[in-house]
Structure 1
C-alpha cells in the first residue's frame, strides 16, 4: 500500500514538472513583444470652425501609444511638405486664395522608439514610390525604426471663409487741439487718414479705393498706405482734376497714384473710401464728411493770403481787409481762430497742418500777412513758413503775446525758427499797459543813425478809434535781430517802462520777411497804418502786379 502511494506521488510530481516545462517554453520570457504603432487625433475649437472658419485656424492634436509615449508629430497641409513638431497645438495663418478656400491638414504621431532627434520645424522626407510628388497611403517616411509612427495619419478638411476687411477714419492730428475730421471749409489740398483691419490678417488688405463725389470713378491706393493727400492740379475751372498722393506718414507723398479725381471748387465735396482684400472682397464704403456736415472747397482768388490767427474781439481783420480793398488787392483769408475754445483750435485748422497748410501756401500763394494774438498756432507757422520762404514767399508777421505764455513752449525759439529774422525775444514783457499816444519810432533814440523808411506809428485812442481805441494794449517784448536782419521799429522811451527803448520791429536784409511785435491796427493814431502796409507790399513787389490802385 505504501509503494502504491509512493508511485502515485512520483507520477504526480512528474506530470507537474512536464506541465511547467511545456508552459515555460511557450511564453519565452526573454523575447519582447513587437512595437505597437501610435494612433493620432485632431480637434479644432470651436467645432463650428469645421463648417467655415477664418484664415486664422487654431488646431489641437494628440497621440496615444499603447506601449510607450508620444515623442512628437509630423504634419502637412499639402502632402508634399512634412514638418516635425513637439507641440500639441498651433494657430495657422492660411492664405486666402479666393472668396472661399479649402485646406486639408494631415498629422501623425511618433512614439518614443524614434532613434532620431529632429529639431522643431525640421522637414521630414518620405519615399515617393509612384513619383507623383505627394505622399500616398503606404509610402514610408524616413523615420527609424519604421514602426515608430502612425502610418495612417489623421486628417481634416477646413473650408476657409474669407472675411471682408474693415476701415474707418482716424484723423489723429499731429498737433494738440486739432479737429478729427475734415474742416467744413478748406482750400484745394486736403489730407485723410484711416485705419483698416482684416480678421484674416492685415496683410491680406491689398488696396484701398477712393472716390471724390462720384462713386463710379475710383482711384486705387496700394494697401500699405493709411494716409493720402488730394491736391487739385489746377484751379482754372469749377471742376478740376485732382491727384492722390499716398504716404506712410503724415507728409505729402512723393508720387501720385494713377488716375484722377474730380474736385469741385467753390462747392461742397464728399470723400469716399473702401478697402479691398486679396480675395477681392470689399469693406463697407465710408465717407467724409458724415451725414449732416459739409466740406466746402474754397477756390483761391489770388496769390495773397491773410492768416487770421487773432483771438481778440476787435475790428483788426476787418480793418486790414479794408486797407487791401483800398489798394485794389484780391486776397484770401484763412481764419485759424473761428470756433476756437481752449484747448480746441479753430474749426478751420486742418488735422494735418504740416501737409494741408504748408502745401496750400507752397502751391497757391506768394504773399502772406499773418496776424497773431498769441502763440497758439506758432507751431503751424514753424512747419510752414520756412518752406514757404525757400520758394520765394514774402511774409508780414504781426504778433502780440500775453503776459505769460504756454508752459514748456519756447516762444522765442518758435519765432526764430519760422521767421529767421530774430535769434530770440525777451522772455518776459518789457511793458505793462501801453497808453494811448505811445509812439512806435522808425529810429533808435539811443543811436539815431539806426533808422528805417517806414512811418512812425502811434497807439490809438477812443477819439481816433471810437470802437476799439479804449481797449487795452499791453505786454510788448523786445526782438533780438539775427545776423540776416535789421531793426526797423523801436518803442518810444516812457516813464511807464523806466524810459527804456527796445526793438519792436525787424526786417530781413532782402526785405522778404517783416516781423513786428505789436498789433498794427492798434497803432493807427496818425491814420498812417495803410501807408506802412503799402510800403511793405511795395517792397514785396505785390503792388507792381496791380494797375488799378485806389490810393
Structure 2
C-alpha cells in the first residue's frame, strides 16, 4: 500500500470518529394538559323552571394525558371549594316559597395536580312548598289542666313527608323568639311545670331546605296549680254528685284540688300519670256517675290502671266510689281483670234486680264503720262483688240479695290503716241517716291519715 493511500484511509477514520462525538439535541418538554369536567345535566340559564331544594348532583372528568384523581366542588361561592373523590352528592339547597337561584360547580384534578381551568357549572332555581301541620284530632288537652300537658301533631309536605326534619315549638312564657327543636321522629311533646294561667302552645314544622310551615298549630288553654295533698276526681255528669261529695270535703276543712273529667281523661298517658303521680298528691277520692264512668276508655284504660298502681305502690291512698266500674272497662276480659286486680275484687256482678229501696240499708261488717247506711234514693243499677283474699268487706247488701254480696271493701285486710277503699254503690244514695260524712271522715283521717 502506498503511503498516500494509507494517509487517506487514516483521514477518513479520524473524520468518522470526530463525527460520532457530536452531542445529541436536548429533548423538548411536553406541557401537561389539564382535565375537563362534565355534569350529567346541561347548564341552565333559564330560571323560569324551578326544582325542589333537594337535588342529586353527578359529574365526571377526563384527562387527555393522564388520569383524574379527584374533584373540587362548590355551591354558590367559588372561594370555598370542597375536595372529593366521589362523582355524586346530594345537596339540600336553601329554598323559599319563591325561586332562589343557586349554582353548582365542579372541576376535575389530574394526577399531576392540574385543575380544570373552566369548571363545569349549572344554574339551579329552587323553590320549596312549606310543610303543613295540625294537631291530631281529639288529642288536645282539656281546656283546663294541671301544670302538665302533652300535644300530638302531624305534618305533611308536598315535596314528600320524608323531607320534614323536625318541629319548632314554644309556650307563650318562653322568651321572645325562643323555639325548642324536636326531631321529625317525635311528633309530640310533654311539657311539665307549666306556669299557671292562660297559656298558648305553638308548633311549626321545618323541612330539610329550611322552609318553615306558614301556618302553625296553636292551642290556648288554662293551667291551674295543684293545691293540697288531696286530689278529688269528679267523674260524674250528675250535678247532685258534685254538690254532695264536694260539700262533705269542704266541711272537712282540707285543702284539695279538683280534677273534672268533663269528656274523658286526657288522651295522653303522660298527662294521666303526671296528674296522679307528679303533683304531690297523697290521697285520691274518685267518684263516678251511675250509668257511665271515664275510669276506663279506649285511649287510657291500661295507662290509668298502671298509673293508679304506681300511685298505690308508692304508699299513697285511693277511695273509689263507682257503681259503673264494670260497665266502662274495655272489650276484653284481660282489661276487666286488670281493673279488678287493682281494686282487689275477686268477682263482680252488675245488679239490676232486685232494686235497693229507700226502706232498706246496707250493713257494716267492720266495727269501725257505722252499723248501716240507709238508702235515700232508689238504686236501680249497681254492682255487688266479693273481695279477693288480700282485702275485706266493709258493707254488704241486705239478706234479700242472694249471698249478700259486698258493696264496700278495704285493702289490706286486717290492717290498722287502709290503702284502698272501694264502694260499688253511690254513697250519695245511702245517706238517709246522714252517715256518709262520718264515713268520709273516718276513711280520710283514720284509714288514710290525711292531714287537715
Q: Give the TM-score of the pair, scaled to structure 1.
A: 0.59
Please tell me whether residue 332 in structure 1 is matched to residue 262 in structure 2: no
Correspondence for 1:52 among 39, 43, 50: 50
CA RMSD of aligned residues (A): 4.0
Deviation (angstroms), 1:399: 0.8
Partner of residue 428 from structure 2, selected from 505, 516, 521: 521
Unmatched tracts of structure 2, length 5 or more: 1-37, 60-70, 74-82
Residue 300 of structure 1 corresponds to which residue in structure 2? Answer: 226
* Map of 2:192 onto structure 1: 231
Contact 1:80-1:135 at 8 Å conserved across structures? no
Q: CA deviation at 1:320?
A: 1.0
Q: Deviations over 1:438-469 (max 9, x none)?
A: 222112xxxxxxx34211343434xxxxxxx3
**Match runs of 1:426-505 below 5 Å:** 426=349, 428-429=350-351, 431-443=353-365, 451-461=366-376, 469=377, 472-494=378-400, 497=401, 499-505=402-408
Deviation at 1:511, TM superposition (A): 0.7
Query: Deviations along 1:256-307, whole A, 9 cap, x unmatched?
Result: xxxxxxx2x2x31111223445665433362532xxxx51111223221111
Cα 1:540–1:208 shift into 2, 3 Å = farther
Give the alignment partner of residue 282 of structure 1, picking from 198, 206, 212.
212
1:329-368 Cα distance to aligned partner (Å, 9 max, x none) = 22222221x3xxxxxx34xx4331x111220121222211
Distance 1:129 1:403 in 2: 82
Structure 1 CA distance for aligned equivalents of residues 141 and 278 of structure 2:
20
Q: Give the superposition deviation at 1:493.
A: 1.1
Q: Partner residue of 1:185? A: 144
Structure 1 counterpart of 2:92:
95
- In 2: Cα distance, 1:452 partner to 1:526 partner: 18
Tell whether 2:146 aligns with 1:163: no
Alignment: residue pair count:
378
- Is the aligned partner of 1:377 residue 2:377? no
CA distance in 1, matches of 2:436, 2:170: 49
> Shift of the alpha carbon at 1:430?
6.9
Alignment check: 8 A CA contact 2:50 2:127 kept: no
Counterparts of 1:274 and 1:52, CA distance in 2: 25
Shift of 1:104: 4.1
Hey, what's the Cα distance between the residues in 1 that align with 2:345 and 2:45?
A: 72
> Which residue does the alignment assign to 1:144?
none
TM-score (norm 2): 0.70
Distance 1:105 1:391, change over 3 A: same
Residue deviations 1:36-76, cap 9 Å, x none?
A: xxx998579x9988743213458999xxxxxxxxxxxxxx9
Report the Cα distance in structure 1 between the residues aligned to 2:201 and 2:363, rounded to whole angstroms: 52
Moved more, 480-489 or 385-394: 480-489
> Paired residue for 1:366?
282
Deviations 1:362-386 (A, max 9, x none): 1222211111233443226424311
Residues 452 and 489, structure 1, Cα contact 8 Å, conserved in 2: no
- The aligned residue for residue 412 of structure 1 is 336
Residue in 1 that maps onto 2:76: none
Cα distance in 2, alignment partners of residues 404 and 390 from structure 1: 26
Q: Is the 8 A contact 2:235 2:293 kept in 1?
A: no
C-alpha separation in 1, matches of 2:387 and 2:437: 25
Compared with structure 1, are the counterparts of its residues 309 and 502 closer, same or farther at alpha carbon in structure 2 (3 Å cutoff)?
same
Q: Distance in 1 between matches of 2:370 and 2:340?
A: 25
In 1: Cα distance, 2:445 partner to 2:39 partner? 90
Which structure 1 segments of 5+ residues have no match? 1-38, 62-75, 85-91, 107-125, 138-152, 173-178, 233-241, 243-262, 339-344, 444-450, 462-468, 547-551
Cα separation, 2, equivalents of 1:47 and 1:388: 68
Match of 2:67 in 1: none
Does structure 1 conserve the Cα–Cα contact (< 8 Å) formed by 2:92 and 2:208? no
- Secondary structure (helix, strand or coil) at the match of 1:504 reads strand
Correspondence for 1:119: none
CA contact (8 A) 1:422 1:482 kept: yes
Cα 1:201/1:369, change in 2 over 3 Å: closer
CA distance in 1, matches of 2:393, 2:102: 77
Kindly indicate whether the alpha-carbon contact (under 8 Å) linking 1:195 and 1:226 is maintained by their aligned counterparts in 2.
yes
Contact 2:57 2:90 in 1 (8 A): no
Is contact 1:213–1:272 with CA below 8 Å preserved after alignment?
Answer: no
